[in-house]
Chains A and B, each alone.
Chain A
Amino acid sequence: MTAPPDDCLARNDWICGDYLSTRRQILLDAVGQHVQLTVVSVGLGLVIALPLALLARRRRWTVGPVLGITTVIYTIPSLAMFSLLLPVYGLSATLVVVGLALYSLTLLVRNILAGLDGVPAGTKEAARGMGYGPMRQLLAVELPLAVPAAMAGLRIATVSAVALTTVGAIVGYGGLGNLIYAGMNAYFKAQVLTASVLCVLIAVVFDLLLLGVERLLTPWRRAGRSPRPARGRRLPTASGRRA
């Protein structure tokens, strides 16, 4: 009879190199699913939020209802949200994507609207004076100037979505959340810790990527004065986080 192996897997350590090497493929698959769910849902949110924000700006009376409804959606707990969508989408990745997209709406609509409202009236007049039509003014002047505020919302929405995706484990599509859920039931410490750390890493990487995109989209902010990233400029006052 052979003695039981005395490695970190057998000892059930929190940190375990053998876990990383033997379950590499499982981890990579989970990360892939996690990233895919996050990107698709925030992308979907953006596709819905932009027209909503433009509509709210064009027809002022729609601001109240649009912000009201998206805020109410934001209040619904994630577990309940995924469960409420169950009869519509069944146990599918679509269910998680739709749920997360709905959450991102509040942050995106609010921030895009704030960005558009923040365009100085003088700038718009100058654009009109130069003969810009409404469409060209929107695309060439107002939307670019709204980018910093919109990107702030997009970054918060993305980071939140990475964290929230884990709850999708309840329907089997939670990316790294699946590993955390399975690790909990099997009392597998290394798996839970590794998956949790990877979640945070994904969020940080996305945040940095979006920060880079923001800088690329707003070259004028770097010209002249010393560069100063948007971070820390606005204190997060009225924004809670999702759970």
Chain B
Amino acid sequence: MSTPAAVWAWLTTAANWSGENGVWHRLAQHAALTFACLVLSALIALPIALTLGHLGRGGALAVNLANVGRAVPTFAVLVLLLLTPIGRHEEWPTIIALVLFAVPPLLTNAYVGMREVDQDVVRAARGMGMTGVQLVWRVEAPLALPLVLTGVRIAAVQLVATATLAALVGGGGLGRIITAGFNLASTPQVVAGAVVVAVFALLMEALFELVQRLAPARVRGRQR
């Protein structure tokens, strides 16, 4: 049987979709992990970014965080965490690594969004007697929203991709189908797993694209 046919056969076998190691279970794990980490990263990154953006400090931090983040291999961080005492708690290495990698885009985009707010508008709001907190919530944050949401989108897509690597260190998620395929020396399963992972990542990207298209123009901001 040729590879594409074998892959199709794997994908259309009901047994591969059900049970502990089935696609549905792995997909649910993957989605839950991604979502939990996205919420956690946003809770960490956004308050810091909004504060620093409002004060106009920390630009170097935002840029350097993004640059350092690129140079550190996710896989290495996962394994390092796994070998520390944290590794004894099954999910924690994955969650920490994922959050570490979702924070920089969230932080950078929200910070830049806050800084790009028209300073005349900020001055006008101040002139109207707004306090710092009012300024953040009523003026700066709403105007920064498009870029903040871009950060959320990048972080979400990145999380879907990174959650795949959890499988390399024995974590759950869709990547497990691929690693299991390698262990079984079953190329059809490896490729079928890769197809499922790729489709999920692309669907995530498409979902955000759609939401951004449908959102009101004010939220959408200028298209990048």
Which A residues are closer than 8 A to B by beta carbons? 72, 75-81, 83-84, 86-87, 156, 159-160, 162-167, 169-170, 177, 180-181, 183-184, 187, 189, 192-193, 195-196, 199-200, 203-204, 207, 232, 235-243
Contacts and interface: CB of A to CB of B under 8 A. Distances in A.
A242 B62 CA distance: 18
Nearest to A198: B76
B4 to A, nearest CB: 8
A189 B193 contact: no
Contacts of A232: 60, 63
Interface in B160-188: 160-162, 164-165, 167-169, 175, 178-179, 181-182, 187
A192 B179 CA distance: 20
B158 A199 contact: no
Interface in B106-140: 108-109, 112
B182 A159 contact: no
A75 B201 CA distance: 6
Interface stretch (B16-24, B42-50, B64-72, B211-219): B64-72
Contacts of B182: 170
Contact of A166 (B76, B178, B191): B76
Main secondary structure of the interface of B (DSSP, over half): helix
Contact of B191 (A77, A83, A242): A83
A83 B194 contact: yes
B89 interface: no
Contacts, number: 168
B73 A199 contact: yes
Interface residues of B, number: 57
A241 to B, nearest CB: 5
A207 B75 contact: no
14 contacts: A75-B202, A77-B201, A81-B194, A86-B187, A156-B70, A164-B73, A167-B75, A169-B168, A181-B168, A184-B82, A187-B83, A189-B83, A238-B109, A241-B158
Given A196-B76, A235-B108, 17 more contacts: A72-B205, A79-B165, A80-B164, A81-B198, A83-B191, A86-B190, A86-B191, A180-B76, A181-B168, A184-B79, A184-B82, A184-B169, A199-B72, A204-B71, A235-B112, A236-B66, A243-B158
B202 A72 contact: yes
A193 to B, nearest CB: 7
Contacts of B165: 77-79, 167, 243
A170 to B, nearest CB: 6
Contacts of B202: 72, 75-76
Contacts of B83: 184, 187, 189, 192
Contacts of B62: 235
Given A163-B70, A184-B83, A241-B70, A84 B147 contact: no
